[in-house]
Structure 1
Amino acid sequence: MSTPTISFDRKSAAALAHSKNEPSWLVAWREEAAEWAETLELPKPEKTPIQRWNLDVQGAHRPGQVVSAPAELPQAIASVLDAESTGAVIVQHNSSVVYTRLPEQLKAKGVLLSSLEEAARTHEELLRSHLMTAYARDEHKLSAMHAALWNGGVFLYVPPGVELEVPVQAILFADDAEATFVPHVLVIAEANSRVSFVENVSSSLGETKSTLLHNGAVEVFAKAGAHVRYAAVHHLDSSSIDISYRRAVTDNGARMEWLIGDMHEGNTVSDTKTILKGSGSTSDAKIISVGTGSQRMSLTTGAVHIGRSSESGMVTRAVMKDEATAIINGVTKIEKGATKANGEQTERILMLSSKARGDANPILLIDEDDVKAGHAASVGQVNAEQVYYLMSRGISRAEAERLIIYGFLDPVVSEIPLEVVRDQLQRILERKLG
């Protein structure tokens, strides 16, 4: 059975919004996006022919079953939920949010956590002033499709000066290949606040001839002096397509950290960018990925410097096996007026097969003289000297190569701020590299 599709005319977008009792402004907002989706072109990631992918399978709106306790969640979700954590949790199952836990002490401080759909009804002004302003609805066809169809989603608001000591966890899970799975995560961290957010996107589809399209988006707004750490692990079935656009905007003195594990089994477009709007703001992005089988992957990391004395660092590391292909792009853009900005980036790819392919493309776009910028890129096999050194200490070749590969990926794995998710990432790595 093929996956049912949803058209993008105004009428169908409005019908979907009305069926979920959305406010009138959001109905019109979706209608406009649906019109754009009919005319805009697909994005054009370098050397990745996504026009050949099955991107028309939007699925049908199939909400999950709302539960009141973690024990009622499907086992696949419960396995990555930290049962001992006292932090906030939100869970999306297929097309809707089914469970939310926000501790009373966080509520008392003014922290807000809900589905994005609920926030559209309860915090309209806050939502409208931020939603898809960093990742524009008319950026390309996929963003317009996302705006027309996003469902469930996550809304997190951290008031000024509030520091969350325990990470917020979001689990986005699909086990219905014919469900619309288009989550949108919106994080607003007010001035001098601090928060760690851990996103887990996964699926368990079994045997299916249908294609699940995850057309997801993340927007983070770090206000003056705020510090946001955003960690994500993506691991969907090979019958899925993972489209993930992430955007962050940093105000004066704010700091944004990205820790991304793109461990998907199928075709992937991952685009992670920080807009350093404020002076003295900083961004640090660490991305890892492992490609297996015949995967096609486009991984782009970007930093746009607008504020003076802003700093960005980007590190992307990928391991390619079998016949997998990865295009790794790092883009540092320093705008006119962003004096004293400093942007550094590194892309490295380890090739474990003669049939695997990997391109590392560092790109510097500099429109200001008084700045610093640098890049490094490499594509190659496991270092023979390192292997020899470990073997000289009595370690077998296979174990020596395994240790080197794990060390290569450790900058992200070791920094995931939730043990249960860190352990999950470790298991995924062992399975993909085994």
Structure 2
Amino acid sequence: MSVNTERLFDRQVVTQLSQSQNEPTWMLKNRLQALEAASQLRLPKLEKTRIDNWNFTDVEPINPESAIASVDALPEDIRRFVSADGEDSLLIQKNSSPVYAQLPESLTRQGVVFTDLATALSKHPELVQPYFMTDGIRPDEHKLAALHAALWSGGAFLYLPKEVEVDVPFQVLFWASGKGIGTFPHLLIVADSHSKAHIVANFVSDEETDAVVNGMVEVFAGDGSNLTLASLHTHGVGTTDVAYRRTVTGKDAQVEWIVGDLNAGRTVSDNTTHMKGSGGNAQIKSITVGAREERANITSTVRHWGTHTESDIIARGVMKDKAQFIVNGITKIEKGAKKANGVQAEKVLMLNPEARGDANPILLIDENDVQAGHAASVGRIDPLQMFYLMSRGLSKREAERLIIFGFVGPVLDTIPFESLKERISSVIERKLT
């Protein structure tokens, strides 16, 4: 299906957006080139999922919001996704505007940069330009990437200097609110060599919000860096969520991704890690829970380029009602990536005969001296387990809950942030009621 983006988003809209953020000339040029490309490119082709009838463009892309004085000004159902005492690093964006930022002075003195992307473009262009949509996500990948490149707003930027280690997580909250809106948040993370940090990105919306969220995350993990990244998506039933994440790792870099795709509407989720340097390690852990008539296509990909690299993909999906989810795992070992080791396991649990969950493990091997393995399963709750638990006095709902949390436990139990684990658990509880 072709979408006339020139009619919906013209050059004047893009130019006004760029000027409102006081961007350099090169960024405006990039935006206009991406807008032109969007009118020519096709939507991404997804495994067993048709998205050509989904709305990605019939939205208002510029929705400015006013700054807030503190986290206490957030609605209670939004505030529960963040914590903000004096030692926390936090950035909040509502629709197309950054509305709150907090960074401890101790980190500023160490050279850490944590701010909205527009400010980073103005104050630190030398840190942004080499990375922004160049080697991670490219505007010419497909129509959704081009639209994002043309219309991104606000966003967040994190730079970790060499050998700086930060124990308290950096938090980013992208909040969509309203009817007929489009948000295009971009999170760019650049970690210099031997740095260490934890980053938690929450993508949320109000329950009544009718929105299209086209978000991108780019992560560049320098040699010897150690990053733990969590991305939690909890949009409402009226929201279409597009989430593309790209990670590029250096020599001996350690990257752990924790992804919770827990939306109530439509979801396209793509997490791809390029292991460029030798000796790196990547772990991708994802949880998906579908209910009602939700639709989602979720893909985790690791591409091994460097030698002696290791990766592990673990995905768990739970489907109920008439939900339909596709869970893909792709391990690609490129020619020359000797001694690489890539494994993956995808499992889907279906709670209703009308639910549909597919688990697709894919190994693509172009080198001989490597190791690789995969496992996948799709099934229903074992009636013997249910009988045993109910014979011990549990109700059907209580027994089902225990089985489900045992099923997602291999991912949930490894989450290093207790607060994030609690948030994910509470969202799963709500979706299963």
TM-score relative to the length of structure 1: 0.94
1:94 touches 1:175 (CA, 8 Å); kept in 2?
A: yes
1:267 touches 1:296 (CA, 8 Å); kept in 2?
A: yes
2:206 to 200, 204, 207: 204
Taking only the aligned residue pairs, the percentage that are identical comes to 45
Q: Aligned runs of 1:63-82 on 2, under 5 Å?
A: 63-82=64-83
**Aligned position for 2:101:** 100
**Aligned position for 1:227:** 226
Query: SS state of the match for residue 180, structure 2?
Result: coil
> How far apart in 1 are the matches of 2:87 and 2:21?
31
Q: Aligned runs of 1:138-287 on 2, under 5 Å?
A: 138-206=140-208, 211-287=210-286
Query: SS state of the match for residue 354, structure 1?
Result: coil
**Aligned position for 1:308:** 307
> How far apart in 1 are the matches of 2:207 and 2:352?
28
User: Relative contact order: is structure 1 or structure 2 higher (C-alpha 8 Å, sep ≥ 6)?
Assistant: 1
**Aligned position for 2:400:** 401
1:286 touches 1:411 (CA, 8 Å); kept in 2?
A: no
2:61 touches 2:151 (CA, 8 Å); kept in 1?
A: no
Query: SS state of the match for residue 91, structure 1?
Result: strand
1:160 touches 1:192 (CA, 8 Å); kept in 2?
A: yes
Offset of residue 205 of structure 1:
4.9
> How far apart in 2 are the matches of 1:6 and 1:345?
43
**Aligned position for 2:112:** 111
Offset of residue 397 of structure 1:
4.3
Question: RMSD between aligned alpha carbons?
Answer: 1.8
**Aligned position for 1:47:** 48
1:91 touches 1:97 (CA, 8 Å); kept in 2?
A: yes
Residues 218-255 of structure 1, C-alpha deviations (whole Å, 9 max, x = no match): 01110001011111111111110010001101100001
Residues 351-393 of structure 1, C-alpha deviations (whole Å, 9 max, x = no match): 1000011111111111000101111010001134443454565
1:9 touches 1:35 (CA, 8 Å); kept in 2?
A: no
Offset of residue 420 of structure 1:
3.6
AA at the equivalent of 1:130: Y
> How far apart in 2 are the matches of 1:227 and 1:411?
22
2:213 touches 2:241 (CA, 8 Å); kept in 1?
A: yes
**Residues 85 and 256 (structure 1 numbering): CA distance in 2 closer, same or farther, change over 3 Å?**
farther
> How far apart in 1 are the matches of 2:113 and 2:283?
26
> How far apart in 1 are the matches of 2:371 and 2:219?
26
AA at the equivalent of 2:36: E
Offset of residue 11 of structure 1:
4.0
1:9 touches 1:38 (CA, 8 Å); kept in 2?
A: no
AA at the equivalent of 1:177: K
Q: Aligned runs of 1:346-425 on 2, under 5 Å?
A: 346-391=345-390, 393-425=392-424
> How far apart in 2 are the matches of 1:299 and 1:68?
37
**Aligned position for 2:13:** 12
When structure 1 is superposed on structure 2, of 125-134 and 137-146 the one drifting more is 125-134
Offset of residue 60 of structure 1:
3.4
**Aligned position for 2:139:** 137
> How far apart in 2 are the matches of 1:123 and 1:68?
25
Offset of residue 6 of structure 1:
7.4
AA at the equivalent of 1:151: S
AA at the equivalent of 1:34: L
Q: Which runs of 5+ in 2 are unaligned?
A: none
> How far apart in 2 are the matches of 1:287 and 1:263?
10
TM-score relative to the length of structure 2: 0.95
Residues 15-36 of structure 1, C-alpha deviations (whole Å, 9 max, x = no match): 3212332111111110111111
**Aligned position for 1:58:** 59
> How far apart in 2 are the matches of 1:22 and 1:365?
41
